[in-house]
Amino acid sequence: MTDPANAASGGPATVRGATSDPAVDALVTRARAGDMTAFNTLVLRFQDGVYGLTLRMLGDPAAAEDATQDAFIRAWQRLETYRGGSFRAWLFTIAANRARDELRRHSRRPTRSLDEARDDPDHADIDPPDSAPTAHEVLEQSELRQALEAALRALPDDWREVVVLADVQGLDYVEVAAVTGVAVGTVKSRLSRARGRLREVIRNSPELFEAAGRLTDRR
């Protein structure tokens, strides 16, 4: 698991998802040449992730929509700056910057839970994880999600951004560092602190703890 070369320098053992996807790169190449269809293919492929990131960072579906649209517009305008690697991480960088700008502009804190957004018929945009849980499990998983979402919203912005990118979106440390513009060590520290805070939330409730345990067992 550990790369000796990286281990010697204290670097990461592995880099998940840092390699570029040839299909994505081909679309990027065509988009750079002005092929809007190719770019829109990329948009449809990554828009859920981008929107999910901005929604969790901003906590406001309308603001997340605007940020997502702006992110794709900027991505089109700056395709020349994409130098390979993970295109998704590159997109996330633009989207996170846009969301951060929005947070700074309005000193906005996420105020709306994703469950509220899911209940909103205008924003029925959250798919529950597909599994076959029992009714009891559905209930407790829902409670767990609500508790985690609430805990995420209570995190400091920079912690929340890191933990969403790493644990929700599945980016590795290097990609998170690239997206957030901080050092890998800072990513490591913020991620551990965010996880530590969320751990307190889970441990404060036996029900949540058991629900999380069952979830882990299922996986």
Among 68, 86, 93, 180, binds another protein (CB under 8 A): 68
Q: Is 99 in the site for another protein (CB under 8 A)?
A: no
- Count of CB atoms within 10 A of residue 115's CB? 14
C-alpha 58 chain-centroid distance: 12
Rg (CA), the chain: 18
Angle formed at CA 116 by CA 128 and CA 217, multiple of 5 degrees: 35
Instruction: Map tokens 């959250």 to a residue.
Output: 126
Are the beta carbons of 87 and 42 closer than 8 angstroms?
yes
CA–CA separation, 61 and 145 (whole Å): 18
Q: Is 51 in the site for another protein (CB under 8 A)?
A: yes
> Hey, what are 160's tokens?
């929340």
Of the ranges 22-30, 82-90, 102-110, 193-201, which one interacts with another protein (CB under 8 A)? 193-201
Q: Is 100 in the site for another protein (CB under 8 A)?
A: no
Are the beta carbons of 179 and 96 closer than 8 angstroms?
yes
Q: Is 33 in the site for another protein (CB under 8 A)?
A: no
* 3-state SS string for 145-177: HHHHHHHHHHCCHHHHHHHHHHHHCCCCHHHHH
CB of 77 to another protein, least distance (A): 5
Among 61, 82, 86, 92, binds another protein (CB under 8 A): 61
CB of 36 to another protein, least distance (A): 5
Q: Is 199 in the site for another protein (CB under 8 A)?
A: yes
Do you know the residue count of the chain?
219
Among 30, 157, 182, 209, binds another protein (CB under 8 A): 209
Q: Is 153 in the site for another protein (CB under 8 A)?
A: no
Among 23, 26, 73, 183, binds another protein (CB under 8 A): 73
Q: Is 80 in the site for another protein (CB under 8 A)?
A: yes
Among residue numbers 109 through 128, which ones bind another protein (CB under 8 A)? 114, 118, 122-128
CB of 136 to another protein, least distance (A): 17
Name which of 103 and 198 has its Cβ closer to another protein: 198
CA–CA separation, 119 and 115 (whole Å): 6
Q: Is 45 in the site for another protein (CB under 8 A)?
A: no
Q: Is 205 in the site for another protein (CB under 8 A)?
A: yes
Name which of 22 and 129 has its Cβ closer to another protein: 129
